Structure 1
Amino acid sequence: MAVKIRLRRMGNRNAAFYRVIVQDGRVAPTGRFIETLGWYDPKQEGNNFSLNLDRVNYWLSNGAQPSETAKSLIKKAGALPVEQAVTGEVTEEEVPVAAVEAEADAEEVAEEAPVAEEATEEKA
Structure 2
Amino acid sequence: MAVKIRLQRHGKKDSAFFHLVVADGRAPRDGKFIEKLGVYNPTSNPATIDINFDSTLSWLMKGAQPTDTCRAILSYKGVMMKKHLLEGVKKGALTEAQVEERFAKWLDEKSGKILGKHDRLKDETSKKAKDRHKAESASKEAKAAKLAEKQAAREAVIKQVEAEATATPDAPAADAPATEESNG
With normalisation by structure 1, the TM-score equals: 0.61
The 5 A counterparts of 1:36-75 are 36-46=36-46, 48-75=48-75
Paired residues in the alignment total 83
Instruction: Tell me how far apart the structure 1 counterparts of residues 59 and 6 of structure 2 sit (CA, whole Å).
Output: 12
Instruction: Tell me how far apart the structure 2 counterparts of residues 18 and 63 of structure 1 sit (CA, whole Å).
Output: 22
The 5 A counterparts of 1:91-110 are none
CA shift for structure 1 position 80: 4.7
Instruction: Tell me how far apart the structure 1 counterparts of residues 26 and 43 of structure 2 sit (CA, whole Å).
Output: 30
Which letter maps to 1:32? Answer: K
Instruction: Tell me how far apart the structure 2 counterparts of residues 27 and 41 of structure 1 sit (CA, whole Å).
Output: 23
Instruction: Tell me how far apart the structure 2 counterparts of residues 20 and 4 of structure 1 sit (CA, whole Å).
Output: 10
User: Residue in 2 aligned with 1:97?
Assistant: none
Tell me the C-alpha RMSD between the 2 structures: 1.8
Give a deviation string over 1:17-41, Cα, whole Å, max 9, x none: 1000000112122220001100011
Which letter maps to 2:35? Answer: E
Structure ranking higher in helix proportion:
2
User: Residue in 1 aligned with 2:19?
Assistant: 19
Which letter maps to 2:55? Answer: R
Unaligned runs of 5+ in 1: 85-124
Return the structure number with greater relative CO, CA threshold 8 A, min gap 6. 1
Identity rate, percent: 41
CA shift for structure 1 position 75: 0.5
Cα gap change, 1:80 to 1:40, in 2 (>3 Å): farther
Structure 1 moving runs of 4+ over 3 Å: 79-82
Rg comparison, structure with higher value: 2
Unaligned runs of 5+ in 2: 79-105, 112-184
CA shift for structure 1 position 47: 5.1
